[in-house]
Structure 1
Amino acid sequence: MSSRERAASTADGRGVRGGRPAGGTVQLLGNEMATQFRRRRTWAMLGALALIPILIAIAIRLVGGSNPGRGPAFLDQIAGNGLFVGLAAMTVAIPLFLPLTVSVASGDAIAGEAGHGTLRYLLLAPAGRVRLLVVKYLFAAAFCIAGTLTVVVVGSLAGWALFPVGPVTLLSGAQVSVGEGLIRLLAIAAYVSVSLLGLSAIGLFFSTLTTVPIGAMAATAILAVTAQIVGAIPQLEALHPWLFTDRWLEFADLLRSPMVWDSFAGNAVLQAGYVLVFGGAAIARFVTKDVLS
């Protein structure tokens, strides 16, 4: 079988059969999710994220708690309550590791298909370009959820295995049960997942600009780091509210009693703005792009 035939066969299994839509957007999305979550690279990235809470838990178990105020947030509280492993791991993963993996997932969306020569076959269905972009973005969003849940769930399990687990003392000083503490951890995972949606749209846009996946991935990751650097410079304070990274670490309101949802709502609005702008730019670019591979 020639390389062109293999490419056509690959595309055929991902939603195009004989040049006709294979069940519409829902089936195309199902094929995309199944294909991407079967890839070794996807599981390797999730495995790397899972190592963060595991390493933190083992280090604290072997060495002991850190001095208060030193190290990542919540690190000094792990020895007293294992549920804080997930929180500490999340604060470690947000600045670099989660953006890096999301950059790979979104940056590869279109450029990866073009690089493998399968993009043209995926577009055989009528009006397939916008639909394909939507499906690719939905996978990137699903990966955001999978990544944050991996950090929180593995962190909770590691903390449960290595440390005592009990009522959680919130930032407001109140204590909640273990069950409510786990619910708040899931709420934080949802907050961080929403935080990464804007970056996913940026990565999708970069992915429409090139046929080299590594270029789109690198550009997305570099932009995420650059935005955080700009956000740390006081002289550029006027720009901070417009940065997609500005509210990434503002999930502390979910650790108060009662929970305050203002930061969650503000973050969602900010990310929605980036999704609309860069999603629209991706569509404008992709629908006019001359696809040769």
Structure 2
Amino acid sequence: MSAADPLLADAAASVPRRLPAGTGSFVFFRNELATVFRRRRTITLLVVLAAVPFLIAVAVKLSSQQIAPGEGPTFLDRITQNGLFVGLTALVVCTPLFLPLAVAVVAGDTVAGEANLGTLRYLAIAPVGRLRLIVTKFLTATVFCAAVTVVITGVGAVVGTLFFPVGRVTLLSGATISPAAAAGREFLVAGYVTISLIGLAALGLFVSTLTDIPVGAMAAVAVAAIASQILDSIPQVSWLHPWLFSHYWLGFGDLLRDPIVWTSLLHNAVLQAGYVAVFGSLAYGRFATKDLLS
């Protein structure tokens, strides 16, 4: 097999199947999910992100030095006492950079990738249509956001259970809960992080409609994610902070209190919904008038 064969195979896996007339939205959505999740780069992203909690657990397990409270990423000092904190630590590590980069790769490729492969004009005509295509692309990116957070959380829970003791968990408020309840809180945090990423996915969808070069769209979305976090750290523009899509990304600590404080989750959900509404509308407006030559 030549060196180009794997690239050709990956490109072939990216080409969606021609849909018969009358195909329902669910079938089209299912086919789109299959197309995205069988790509080699998607699988690679999932494997790399799954390796983060594993590497954290191995590093802590092999370290002979006791981690002082507050040293390193949040929750890192609690891992040796309870393995359920591996997944939470991995989410803290991945949220600022690794997860946005992964979402940028998938969201930036949604439309631009089809245009680059020459399949976009076939998808945009009946029976699919442009509106259904845009909605399906966004929903697929949203499922990917959920998949990466669940993978990190799930691998963290499994590795933490294997490497460290698991018992009652002390929450940030000082109360203790059972391991089962703690696992539920951990996946609730994963849901929070998923919600945090959908605004970026909507931005990526819009950028993807502006170009036929997927790498350019991916880079633009990644830069936007980094720029948002930089602006969020500058006090001179504090008036802008509540409007930045990254402002509440690390606010899931409120879900680890007893009782749960829902304020950050609600603010985050409203903010991300606003980004979805704005950039989703812009994406459709751009795509609806786009001259599909590809």
Distance apart, 1:124 and its partner CA:
2.4
1:29-84 per-residue CA deviation (whole Å, 9 max, x = no partner) reads: 01101111111211110111101100000000001442221110000110111000
Q: TM-score w.r.t. structure 2 length?
A: 0.93
Q: 1:145 aligns to what?
A: 146
Residue type of the alignment partner of 2:186: L
Residue identity (%)? 55
- Relative distance call for 1:60 and 1:127 in structure 2 (3 A) is closer
Note if 1:27 corresponds to 2:33. no
Q: 1:62 aligns to what?
A: 62
Distance apart, 1:127 and its partner CA:
6.4
Comparing 182-191 with 64-73, greater Cα deviation is found at 64-73
Note if 1:52 corresponds to 2:52. yes
Counterpart secondary structure, 1:283: helix
Residue type of the alignment partner of 1:219: A
* Superposition map of 1:244-259 within 5 A: 244-259=245-260
Distance apart, 1:112 and its partner CA:
0.3
Q: 2:42 aligns to what?
A: 42
1:126-158 per-residue CA deviation (whole Å, 9 max, x = no partner) reads: 561111010010010000000000110001111
Mapped partners of 1:81, 1:151: distance in 2: 17
Mapped partners of 2:124, 2:44: distance in 1: 29
Residue type of the alignment partner of 1:163: F
Note if 1:94 corresponds to 2:69. no
Counterpart secondary structure, 1:238: coil
Distance apart, 1:212 and its partner CA:
0.2
Kindly tell me the number of residue pairs found equivalent between the two proteins: 283
Note if 1:179 corresponds to 2:180. yes
Q: What stretches of structure 1 move > 2 A for 4+ residues in a row?
A: none
Mapped partners of 1:136, 1:214: distance in 2: 17
Residue type of the alignment partner of 1:113: E
Mapped partners of 1:222, 1:233: distance in 2: 17
Distance apart, 1:24 and its partner CA:
2.1
Mapped partners of 1:88, 1:26: distance in 2: 36
Q: 1:196 aligns to what?
A: 197
* Superposition map of 1:93-172 within 5 A: 93-126=94-127, 128-172=129-173
1:80-103 per-residue CA deviation (whole Å, 9 max, x = no partner) reads: 110000111000000000000001
Mapped partners of 1:24, 1:131: distance in 2: 10
Mapped partners of 1:10, 1:221: distance in 2: 25
Comparing 115-124 with 100-109, greater Cα deviation is found at 115-124
Mapped partners of 1:139, 1:110: distance in 2: 12
5+ unaligned residues in a row in structure 2: which ranges? 1-7
1:239-260 per-residue CA deviation (whole Å, 9 max, x = no partner) reads: 0000000000000111000111
- Relative distance call for 1:10 and 1:240 in structure 2 (3 A) is closer
Q: 2:5 aligns to what?
A: none
Mapped partners of 1:38, 1:192: distance in 2: 24
Counterpart secondary structure, 1:257: coil
Mapped partners of 1:28, 1:39: distance in 2: 17
Q: TM-score w.r.t. structure 1 length?
A: 0.94
5+ unaligned residues in a row in structure 1: which ranges? none
| Cα RMSD, aligned residues only | 1.6
Counterpart secondary structure, 2:238: helix
Mapped partners of 1:59, 1:10: distance in 2: 40
Counterpart secondary structure, 2:249: coil
Counterpart secondary structure, 1:196: helix
Distance apart, 1:226 and its partner CA:
0.3
Distance apart, 1:119 and its partner CA:
0.6
Q: 1:213 aligns to what?
A: 214
Residue type of the alignment partner of 1:27: V
Mapped partners of 2:73, 2:200: distance in 1: 23
Mapped partners of 1:158, 1:137: distance in 2: 32
